[in-house]
Amino acid sequence: MSPPQDPEDEQGGGDPPRDLRSVLVTSVLNLEPLDEDLFRGTHYWVPSTQRLFGGQIVGQALVAAAKSVSEDVHVHSLHCYFVRTGDPKVPVLYQVERTRTGASFSVRFVKAVQHGRPIFICQASFQKAQPSPMQHQFSMPAVPPPEELLNHKALIDQCLRDPKLQKYQVGLNRIAAQEVPIEIKLVNPTTPCKLKKMEPKQMFWVRARGHIGEGDMKMHCCVAAYISDFAFLGTAILPHRWQYKVDFMVSLDHSMWFHAPFRADHWMLYECESPWAGKRDSQEPTASQHRTATLMAAPGAWFTGGCGVRTGSWLCPVPRRA
């Protein structure tokens, strides 16, 4: 992949200065080449579970795969399996296998390794851009624009001032202290005391912190892959948090389809829904769309701005009664 171009416009929404590079590009998704088709990735943000964030592994694996294809092909889908827990104390090695390089389509297999064993495997498909006379998509949900919504920090500050939520103060302060490299604005924010009334569905605006610019479309896809795994687990347990305390929950597999060009440093509407849960796993489709209401990718997020991405994941919770 080519490096991102110099910034010429402000980030979508106009908040950060133009010269702020996104930490997702400069650190999280900036892999170290060790040999041909062999890369090493480091960690930026580790969740409170002290396990590697699944989105980081997906994003870094896609970066590794994209480095093995030519500039004129772009990712259109990836299918992943998490096979072992990631260790945040050591780097991850990414081994790329060039399964097929064709005139129009190319396929890459990526294996993420720690302690000599695979923790994650991924198959990514790339193709040359080809216009199609057949075009259609779902309609984007009608939601308030991100400029009218509070950001994550403002919501937490609001909750901390509520005397009814004092018992959640330690947890809220812990969340506020996390340096997550993405910005989130919930469409229908809730408080901990309302969780038992919620359906397994949520929508929020999201974008990478800092500036990425037009740059390489592959990098925007890698950033979207990082973001895509952010809300699956929390959405699936929304109807059950009042009844069960979930001690352990992980993603088992994860898929994405990229439909149209987009910018991951502009606001994207992420629609996440869990239609089914049972037998110790849960299905989680999502869609994202940019504000111009074009579906960019699929299983579950709408990225506004002229593109679409879909993502999907199977989750494995291990609950016990509260």
State the residue range of the domain holding 288: 23-129+146-321
Query: Quick check: is 104 in a domain?
Result: yes
Domain with 107 in it: what CATH number? Answer: 2.40.160.210
Taking the C-alpha atoms of residue 95 and residue 145, their distance in angstroms, rounded to an integer, is: 41
The structure tokens 């216009």 sit at 131
Query: Quick check: is 106 in a domain?
Result: yes
Total domains present in the chain = 1
Q: 10 Å Cβ neighbour count for 284?
A: 27
Whether residue 98 contacts residue 154, with contact meaning beta carbons closer than 8 Å, is answered with no
Taking the C-alpha atoms of residue 94 and residue 97, their distance in angstroms, rounded to an integer, is: 10
Query: Quick check: is 18 in a domain?
Result: no
Query: Quick check: is 64 in a domain?
Result: yes
What is the 8-class DSSP label of residue 130?
Answer: -
Query: Quick check: is 136 in a domain?
Result: no
Query: Quick check: is 9 in a domain?
Result: no
pTM across the whole model: 0.80
Q: Is 35 exposed, middle or buried (0-12, 13-18, 19+ CB in 10 A)?
A: exposed
pLDDT per residue of the chain (322 residues) written in tens, 0 to 9 = 644 443 333 455 444 434 456 888 888 899 999 999 999 998 877 776 678 888 999 999 999 999 999 988 999 999 999 999 899 999 999 999 999 999 999 999 999 999 999 999 999 999 998 877 888 877 888 899 999 998 877 777 777 666 666 555 545 445 544 567 888 888 887 655 555 557 888 888 989 988 888 767 899 999 999 988 877 777 777 777 656 666 666 678 888 989 888 889 999 988 888 777 765 555 555 656 555 555 555 544 444 433 455 555 554 444 444 4
